[in-house]
Amino acid sequence: MENLDVLKEQILETSIYSYNQGLFAGTSGNLSAFDKESKLVVITPTSIRYDKMKADDIVVIDLEGKLVDGKHEPSSEWQMHCEIYKSRNDVFSVFHTHSPYATAFAVNRRPIPLILIEMVPFLGGEVPVAKFALPGTKKMGIEALKVLDRKFGCLLSNHGVLAIGKTIDESHIRAEYVEDAAKIFHYALNGGVVNIISKDIEEQMMK
């Protein structure tokens, strides 16, 4: 369980940091990590404020959602997290936020086009929009997986943001970049013409 305790601490630290950054508000958003040795998921609990959260509030579940360790219920979005770990053996952390600029585009159901060079390495280019699914369902994960493919983040229709990574730090920075790109896209739209980086430049950058 040593690995799991380390992951709990990292999840706590990153959750509090994200709350202070404005990526998380109240009890919304959730963060998890997958431990490949035990095949268990360490995830934020449901309905606990981030500013009051302690390491022992973080829970451990198996891929079917059974509580293995912890005194709370897992995040209500545990099915979305588990669906991603079951389908992608290259993903070990899932980060879900309702960060405001990106969530506004999720309400518009409008992808964030490739407008900034850092979107290539950090997000795999444009940020796509997953089809609407009811919160708390497995379908949330299924729809997200359809658009994620070679992307590292996507918008969830009328809901928020999903970012994936090999580590907690990686999924966190990707969630940050989705919000950053959304914020800049918002201001660029207000300012006039949005010039999108061409496919040709995107391919040159991917080499």
Catalytic annotation, residues: 77
CB atoms within 10 A of CB 96: 27
Supply the minimum distance, in Å, between the C-beta of residue 1 and Zn ion. Answer: 28
By CB under 5 A, how many residues form the interface with Zn ion? 1
Minimum gap (Å) between residue 179 Cβ and Zn ion? 14
The DSSP-derived string for 82-119 is: HHHHHH-TT--EEEEE--HHHHHHHHHT--B-S-STTH
**Which CB, 45 or 160, lies closer to Zn ion?**
160
Q: By CB neighbour count within 10 A (0-12 exposed, 13-18 middle, 19+ buried), where does 192 fall?
A: exposed
C-alpha distances (whole Å) from 202 to each of 117, 151, 156 are 8, 13, 24
Nearest residue to Zn ion on Cβ basis: 160
Shorter beta-carbon distance to Zn ion: residue 38 or 158? 158
Given the complex with Zn ion, which of 3 and 28 has the nearer CB atom?
A: 28
What is the smallest separation between the CB atom of 159 and Zn ion, expressed in angstroms?
5
For 204, residues 6+ apart whose C-beta sits below 8 A from its C-beta are none
Specify the residue, 4 or 23, whose C-beta has the smaller distance to Zn ion: 23
**Residues 155 to 184 in contact with Zn ion, rule: CB under 5 A:** 160
Site mask, Zn ion, residues 111-150, x = CB under 5 A?
----------------------------------------
Q: Least distance to Zn ion from the beta carbon of 133, Å?
A: 11
Residues 61, 42: Cα–Cα separation, whole Å:
7
Question: What is d(CA 100, CA 87) in angstroms, rounded to the nearest whole number?
Answer: 28
Axis crossing angle, helix 138-148 with helix 78-87, rounded to the nearest 10: 40
Binding site for Zn ion (CB under 5 A): 160
